[in-house]
Chains A and B, each alone.
Chain A
Amino acid sequence: MKYLAALFLLSAFSLNLPLQTGLGVRALRDDLGRSVKNSFFECAVLFISIYIQYALFTFAFSPLNLVFFKYFMIFPLSAVFPALMQIFHSKVILKYMPDNKCGDYVFDFSYKTGLSIAAVLLVLYIAGSPQEALVLDLGFCFGIFCTALVLKAVSLRLVQERTSALFRGLPLMLISMGLLAMIWTQVIYIYLIQRGRF
């Protein structure tokens, strides 16, 4: 149980994909005006997409010795699931439930940013069992959701505070992200202590 908790912290903070690799930063920055609910739905779609791909590559590709093909399939598969969700949303939810408060959501966030590819690769490398994969998957999505909220707060502060014209906007945001990345990296020690490597 402790190990699973350490895995969750590792994937949510130390391996936080937007902060450690820059994946999805552009989308998060462009969509700062989007609601928290929309970000939550996007992360939920990403969560399901990652787990389905993990199951497919582990239980279908590996026994058939098609491991290398995952490098060809990982990007198209990352796109297929959000596309299906988009069709389901526009054809079913909006058509049969016009009074719902979902709004007009777009689910292209995970594959157009490459977040799904990196998350699937990391889950395949780190997870030793389906339970671990589930925890890692949950951690990655939780981390992305947290980063979306933090970036929203940072950008709000950047608008409110009086800063130099040279630093305003993207440069200060990148520097803040760099500092956050350095702080969150230190959470890796919890995982290393749990593994007995520190």
Chain B
Amino acid sequence: MIKSVKEHIFNFFSSPYAFISALPLIIISSSRLAYGIIAFFALLWVCLVSTMIKNLTKNFFPGLFNNILLISLCSAAGGIFLLIFSFVNPLLAKETILISLLTPVYCFTSESAARAESAEWNQALLESAVDALLPGIFIIILSALREILGFGTLSLPGGAGAIQEIFKLDVLPYPLKIISTSGGAFMLLGYIFIIFRLVKSYSKKAARSGEDDE
């Protein structure tokens, strides 16, 4: 694993609690896989474009109102993504407006664009890609899990009705449907964190017993 990924704050295997910064995006976009995929591309686009522009204009970027300008830059990247995407799939673009508008907020709060000022362009782009990819991949995995358990199906962007269902399970226990709601997503995340703690404590115990054997 490359160093920037291994030491990254959003690396799930280092610290899943850091994901709380991207919690709104995770909760909103993980209800269906199609939305998760859109969130993944929106994150990638907004983080990369805003970082690239910030890095290229770092000599001209005024120090005064730096934050407001950075917010405008991230927001413009999000708006352009929404504009392009509304030409490709207008229905899905309308359904995912909030996701497209929250990605600039994540980009600003994770400081991926702000860090571009003090780095070389290739290093800045790499760090920004990591910023976008780690939560993006987590969102896709979680959305697939939530959609299968909650709706009994898997959907992809496209088709006449904005999203296309790949398959549909006929038999699905009714209580599992709560996972498709936001309350269910909170609970699922809570249990994921508990499983993470459990795995971490077992791996620590195994490492200790290995040291004792030696």
Spell out A's residues near B (CB within 8 Å).
19-26, 29, 68, 71-76, 79-80, 83, 111-114, 117-118, 121, 165-167, 170-175, 177-182, 185
Contact = CB atoms under 8 A, between A and B. Distances in A.
B190 to A, nearest CB: 4
Given A26-B23, A170-B20, A75 B194 contact: no
A182 B178 contact: yes
B75 A76 contact: yes
Nearest to B77: A72
Chain A: interface secondary structure? helix
22 contacts: A19-B183, A21-B27, A21-B28, A22-B24, A26-B23, A68-B83, A71-B79, A71-B97, A71-B101, A72-B79, A74-B101, A75-B101, A80-B68, A112-B105, A117-B101, A117-B102, A117-B105, A118-B24, A166-B194, A175-B191, A181-B183, A181-B186
Contact of B23 (A22, A72, A175): A22
B152 interface: no
B82 A22 contact: no
Contacts of A114: 24, 101-102, 105
Contacts of B79: 71-72
A178 B17 contact: no
B47 to A, nearest CB: 15
Interface in B160-214: 178, 181-191, 193-194, 197-198, 201
Nearest to A72: B79
